[in-house]
Structure 1
Amino acid sequence: MTMNQLNKHPSQSDSITHQSSQTANLTAWQAFAQAYLNRESLALLLLGFAAGVPILLVFSSLGLWLREAGIERSTVTMFGWAALGYSFKFIWAPLVDSLPLPVLTRSLGRRRSWLLLTQLLIIAALVLMALTNPQGSDQMLMVMAAAAVLLGFSSASQDIVIDAYRIEIAPAQMQPALSATYIMGYRIGMIVSGAGALYLADFFGSTMESYSYLAWQKTYLIMAAVMLIGVMTTLWIKEPTLSVKPATESNRDYLQMILVFVAAVVAFILAFRGMGTVLPETESVLMGFLYGCMQFVASVIAFAVMIFVLIKVEIAPKQMVMRTWVEPVAEFFRRYGKKALLLLALIGVYRISDVVAGNISNIFYQDLGFSKTQIANAVKVVGVVASIGGSFVGGWIAQRMNIVKAMTLGAILACVTNLLFILLVYTPVPMMMYFAVIVDNLAAGLATAVFVAFLSALTSIRFTAVQYALFSSLMTLAPKLLGGYSGSIVDATSYQFFFGFTFLIGIPVLLLIYLVNKHIKISQPQIDP
């Protein structure tokens, strides 16, 4: 496909760092109604719901199902690899952004066609999981693993399309509100697939003491039916009003691109696994984190080298590869120059404080003596509702003030609220746990909403799917790598030290925000017609 030539978005020249005088003169209620009571916000609420449903059906709900079926804990944890698509979705985001789908793209448009395909694949994966009893045999367990991988890949792909759709469907000043409604829908979807799925499985009669495959089968079939909300939303929403020139590449070019992508992904996986066997084992948290970074960098290099080799032997169409993978990154660096590195550094660490702390939160509550029911009610229900409220507050704040100032507030709250868990160590009572969970999730929801708006402002309309997928993957990479060692930190020190540490690592984020605000003007890029 030739590089998309897009009409100038109605307000792409509006700086996200300033609000229009019209918005400034509105009352709080008028601003709220203007931001949230519109077709675009409703669409993002429903799409967010569709994005939030699959994630826990790969993680916690599936894990409990497998444990009740008698699967060993070590095998259950390996199913977490099925969700790696969320961390590495930037690898195939360019294909989602550029490749048309036969029949569907002509009838629905570029974004809606990919949305429908990914949602149908999610439903197919859930149905396949529902029809598979993991207790039956090793072969059935392999089928379950394949279905879980399909679910993780499809739901991550859906996220790519929704992020691109959200950025393209509305001007810059609407993005904070759309981010907030998307996060709200996402959290509601997580409640349905997290707490809701567990309540259903329990209602249908499956417990640790008395496993019932039929109970879990009904639960996952109901979850598949719930995903029809996403399908209906896709058929209802409008395609973003961006004009795209017809593609000039042949079917052979697209087939070559798919083969190149598969070969590059295989190289990525082999390099990742290979580096894991080569790097020495270490008990040091810092060295383990550095080794993890080296493993990831080596895998990306292997991915790039494979594409380079395929170009050299003329298997991969060079111009198409450049437009698909290289140009989106090059455009970002052309736009910001050397300052792009400062932005990438901020993206990589902005969420580090709360993500690292959250990685061990459930174990922390359990170690304090809280029951699973108390943890589920506090974290999966009350905490999620609090994060929804936080996302709305974050969206409203980002609408009313400079986005970088809103990010500063979010970063401060994200690290300071971790200190509440130190108080919880000394006061391990349900009331204190609920207070800590509510405040922490309010802060996390607020920080997430303003940060999503910030990432949206950095994303070029020409490369929405690719650039946003790269940003969102980078956003979780360092926190997840460091968060994997949170248990080791606690074992070597204490929970008090650990949560104090998560507070301290959030402070440098404030310096990065200050530098970005001082040296970079964040605005949506203009696209010439």
Structure 2
Amino acid sequence: MTRFPSHIGQSLAVYRDPRVVAILFLGFASGLPLALTTGTLAIWMARAGVDKTTIGLFALVGVPYALKFLWAPLVDRMRLPFLTARLGRRRGWAVFTQGMLMASLLALGASHPVSTPWLTAFLAMAVAFCSASQDIVVDAYRIDILTERQQGAGAAVTQAGYRLGLLASGAGALFLADHLSWPTVYAIMALLMTVGVGAILLSPEPHGEKPPLPLFPRRERWRAWWREAVLAPFTDFLQRPGAFTILAFVLLYKFGDVFAGVMANPFYVDIGFTNSEIASISKLFGLLATLAGVFIGGAVVSRYGVLKSLLGCGVLQMASNLMFSVQAVVGHDLSLLAVTIGFENLAGGMGSAAFVAYLSLLCTTAYSATQYALLSSLMAVGRTVLSSGAGWVAEQVDWSVFFLLSTVAALPGLASGIRKRNRGVWGEASLPPHPSIPFSYSWSGRRSVSGV
């Protein structure tokens, strides 16, 4: 009994380390841009009178998140003129991507989605590209700057900061939009990016790094660089048993969830909710439900294993879409909206916890950064390319039918998971152990993907 408080104090002390605190602010900077190219932008366009099909197609502006693995080796290894010499490899790239993010956010806010939708789409994609590049840098910086003992705390504060960034650009932007113009709102969001700039400038460059390569490697180094930095992480993954079936599951697992999510904000607008109502329930209350779901999901993974948790949480994610159909029939009802958002975000948080644990287990330690970028990029394909037709579907049917269809869209991912479990694709032999999982879990003194 007497040792318990001391143990808790030692566990919490890691969060006071300046490097861990800096990761919190960098997580905020990583989370801030996403809503400004998705949910918040969708509400701006819906208020401006843009049709649903166009709003749905804007999901494609998130394609850079799905393709960031293509240029991750460049961000990881290449030298930037002036910035690398002054700040170091990681900090130089961080400041560069953050500066580009601020500029692209200002330009996006100054665009006109009704009169020049293609320009708005181009600028939104520029924001997404810079944001995806910043994610690569921040993930690499976190891994490099923190000790092995601090990696768990780093993952936790990254998630917390990311959610706070989403809150600022989601609920915060909507509250501001009730009183200010959209260009002003986006300018304020660009200003908030200085939180990340300040954090990286006040933090040290990681020690013991491999020296960055020149921006254009000499010819004799090119082939060796290409094999080690680009090809090796992918060939290592693809040589595993069942690699392509695992990739198919990663692509489809969250599809039903994101298919509904693309049109959720236009749905709220369509049935009469105000910006402030959407912000308070969908964003603020929804954030709390998501955080609760993440922690519950971590406990479920600890108790039942990754695969069982993936399938169980996937069923809950699918069922939560049915609540939106009920909301569509009832219409404007704040109490029901709270129940709908609470269920959907709780289930989504649980599914995300299990999914992140699974993706982490898939990564070989030597290539974890690039392989995780590959897997998260593939996951983003479902959020962008596959879900881009959601607006067209919403134009063809009423909202209740649309959300029923989104429930059906979750079935292929679940069916794929059940099929893989029956075939034993996810046995321990096909998944190398990974030392740093964002959610601590163990059972019977070992790690297991099958959960048996």
Q: Fold match, TM over 0.5?
A: yes
On the 8 A contact 2:43/2:269 being kept in 1, the answer is: no
Tell me, in whole angstroms, the C-alpha distance in 2 between the residues paired with 1:54 and 1:450.
25
Over the matched positions of the two proteins, sequence identity in percent amounts to: 33
Name the CA shift for 1:388/1:325 in 2 (closer, same or farther; >3 Å). Answer: same
Larger Rg: 1
* Structure 2 counterpart of 1:158, from 134, 137, 146: 134
After alignment, is 471-480 or 30-39 more displaced? Answer: 30-39
Superposition deviation, residue 226 in structure 1: 0.9
* Structure 1 counterpart of 2:26, from 23, 36, 47: 47
Superposition deviation, residue 173 in structure 1: 8.3
Q: Which residue of structure 2 lines up, in the alignment, with residue 520 of structure 1?
A: 430
Tell me, in whole angstroms, the C-alpha distance in 1 between the residues paired with 2:417 and 2:153.
24
Structure 2 residue matching 1:194: 3-state secondary structure: helix
Tell me, in whole angstroms, the C-alpha distance in 2 between the residues paired with 1:42 and 1:30.
19
Superposition deviation, residue 237 in structure 1: 4.0
Q: Which residue of structure 1 lines up, in the alignment, with residue 346 of structure 2?
A: 442
Q: Which residue of structure 2 lines up, in the alignment, with residue 267 of structure 1?
A: none
* Structure 2 counterpart of 1:332, from 223, 237, 252: 237
Q: Which residue of structure 2 lines up, in the alignment, with residue 221 of structure 1?
A: 187
Instruction: Return the letter of the residue paired with 2:434.
Output: Q
On the 8 A contact 1:175/1:453 being kept in 2, the answer is: no
Name the CA shift for 1:45/1:340 in 2 (closer, same or farther; >3 Å). Answer: same
Normalising by structure 1, we get a TM-score of 0.66
* Structure 1 counterpart of 2:104, from 108, 111, 125: 125
1:246 aligns to 2:149 (yes or no): no
* Structure 2 counterpart of 1:318, from 220, 223, 228: 223
Q: Which residue of structure 2 lines up, in the alignment, with residue 508 of structure 1?
A: 415
Q: How does 1:140-289 map to 2 (within 5 A)?
A: 147-169=123-145, 178-204=154-180, 215-240=181-206, 243-246=208-211, 252-253=216-217
Q: Which residue of structure 2 lines up, in the alignment, with residue 311 of structure 1?
A: none
On the 8 A contact 1:394/1:447 being kept in 2, the answer is: yes
Superposition deviation, residue 41 in structure 1: 5.1
* Structure 2 counterpart of 1:90, from 69, 82, 102: 69
Superposition deviation, residue 461 in structure 1: 4.4
On the 8 A contact 1:353/1:502 being kept in 2, the answer is: yes
Superposition deviation, residue 464 in structure 1: 4.0
Instruction: Return the letter of the residue paired with 1:321.
Output: W
Name the CA shift for 1:347/1:82 in 2 (closer, same or farther; >3 Å). Answer: closer
1:360 aligns to 2:263 (yes or no): yes
Q: Which residue of structure 2 lines up, in the alignment, with residue 21 of structure 1?
A: none
Name the CA shift for 1:508/1:73 in 2 (closer, same or farther; >3 Å). Answer: closer
Name the CA shift for 1:175/1:359 in 2 (closer, same or farther; >3 Å). Answer: farther
Superposition deviation, residue 61 in structure 1: 3.9
After alignment, is 49-58 or 422-431 more displaced? Answer: 422-431
Q: Which residue of structure 2 lines up, in the alignment, with residue 418 of structure 1?
A: 321
Kindly report the root-mean-square deviation, in angstroms, between the aligned alpha carbons of the 2 structures.
4.2
On the 8 A contact 2:364/2:432 being kept in 1, the answer is: no
Tell me, in whole angstroms, the C-alpha distance in 1 between the residues paired with 2:47 and 2:273.
21
On the 8 A contact 2:306/2:354 being kept in 1, the answer is: yes
Number of residue pairs the alignment of both structures matches: 425
Instruction: Return the letter of the residue paired with 2:137.
Output: V
Superposition deviation, residue 128 in structure 1: 4.2
Q: Which residue of structure 2 lines up, in the alignment, with residue 349 of structure 1?
A: 252
Structure 1 residue matching 2:103: 3-state secondary structure: helix
On the 8 A contact 2:262/2:387 being kept in 1, the answer is: yes
Query: 1:421-465 CA distances to partner (integer Å, 9 max, x unpaired)?
Result: 354456553322211211210221232233223323333444344
On the 8 A contact 1:177/1:396 being kept in 2, the answer is: no
Structure 1 residue matching 2:217: 3-state secondary structure: helix
Tell me, in whole angstroms, the C-alpha distance in 2 between the residues paired with 1:444 and 1:78.
23
Unaligned runs of 5+ in 2: 437-452
Superposition deviation, residue 327 in structure 1: 1.8
Query: 1:338-381 CA distances to partner (integer Å, 9 max, x unpaired)?
Result: 23334323322222232223233335445656555544432233
Tell me, in whole angstroms, the C-alpha distance in 2 between the residues paired with 1:125 and 1:499.
32
Q: How does 1:106-125 map to 2 (within 5 A)?
A: 106-125=85-104
Query: 1:254-278 CA distances to partner (integer Å, 9 max, x unpaired)?
Result: 7x8xxxxxxxxxxxxxxxxxxxxxx
Normalising by structure 2, we get a TM-score of 0.76
